[in-house]
Amino acid sequence: MSSDRIVSWLDSPSKPRFIPPAGAVDAHCHVFGPQADFPFSATAKYLPEDAGPEMLFGLRDRLGFSRNVIVQASCHGTDNAATLNAIAHAEGHARGVAVVDPAISEGELEALHHGGIRGIRFNFLKRLVDEAPKDKFLEVANRLPAGWHVVIYFETDILAELRPFMDAIRVPLVIDHMGRPDVSQGPDGPDMRAFRALLDSREDIWFKATCPDRLDASGDPWDAFAAAVAPLVADYPDRCLWGTDWPHPNMQDAIPDDGHLVDMIPRIAPTADLQQRLMVSNPERLYWAD
């Protein structure tokens, strides 16, 4: 890994035209460091510049959002201190998703709950993590504090392989970036059909309608993403979440404009009712139920 620290976000994103509803939640974002207080993991696959809570909350305000769900980024490994620090500075306006050592104790899980964590993330991307032990993941998934869920990040080519693992998890599942479908196939392409089959297999699987910048090679304004994802949001309106993915880990060669990402929202959720569910009532059910 290069020792150069990466910048994968814009300093001055555009101000969006779209105004999110009151109480809107950016349900997928991260913090990096600051490194002086929260060093990166020895196994980190990328080394970013600092992108701490003040920057995140400044962006939140600029984009017209009220709250954040901060997902522990792989560069911090299983030490959730940076994520917890950001939540602690949000005055109740942030909750989080942790990455844990599967051997974590019940007491440590309770401490994470107290710090605002409401789920754990299993990352199956080989470029981001060295190992993803399904047996150990399953064991910890089925002893989480009440009300928690599991976030899973995988790419579409291993969806079928992961099905028995996912089926065995008894708490709700949230799928990052819809399992990274090839959106150029359109709303009825094989990737979206496979993902719908997963959603249809049980009623407690949610998804993040996120990351046009990662999923749509046609680029901003991400027309293929809008065409593929709008029908999914329409058909599963109570199981979708939205987020910026700021500070866009590993996107340094194609940094998205956060204002443009927000302006995608009415293209995937065209009515006020869908927008309310996507950004307010759905994340509230998962993250602010208690």
| 11 is annotated as an active-site residue | no
**Angle of helix 223-235 relative to helix 190-201, nearest 10 degrees?**
20
CB of 210 to ligand 0GY, least distance (A): 8
Question: Which CB sits closer to ligand 0GY, 217 or 272?
Answer: 217
Catalytic residue among 238, 245, 257, 258, which?
245
Nearest residue by C-beta to ligand 0GY?
74
- Whether the CB-CB separation of 150 and 130 falls below 8 Å is answered with no
Residues that bind ligand 0GY (CB under 6 A): 30, 73-75, 128, 153, 176, 245, 249-250
Nearer to ligand 0GY, 31 or 169 (CB): 31
CA atoms of 235 and 78, how far apart (whole Å): 35
- Considering beta carbons, is residue 128 or 205 the nearer one to ligand 0GY? 128
Measured from the CB of residue 45, what is the shortest distance to ligand 0GY in angstroms?
7
Phi and psi at 251, nearest 5°, equal: -100, 25
173: nearest Cα among 145, 202, 209 = 202
Q: Is 101 left (phi over 0), alpha (psi -120 to 50) or beta?
A: beta
Chain position carrying tokens 């994103």 = 13
Nearer to ligand 0GY, 229 or 276 (CB): 229
Q: Which two tokens stand for residue 143?
A: 């002893």
Minimum distance, C-beta of residue 94 to ligand 0GY, in the bound complex (Å): 16
Least distance (Å) between residue 208 CB and ligand 0GY: 8
| Residue 280: CB minimum distance to ligand 0GY, A | 22
What does R_g of the chain's alpha carbons equal in angstroms?
17
Using the minimum distance from each CB to ligand 0GY, give the nearer residue, 30 or 67. 30
Question: What are the helix (H) ranges across 96-222?
Answer: 106-114, 134-141, 159-167, 190-201, 212-215
Residue 36 makes CB contacts below 8 A (sequence gap 6+) with none
Residues taking part in catalysis: 245
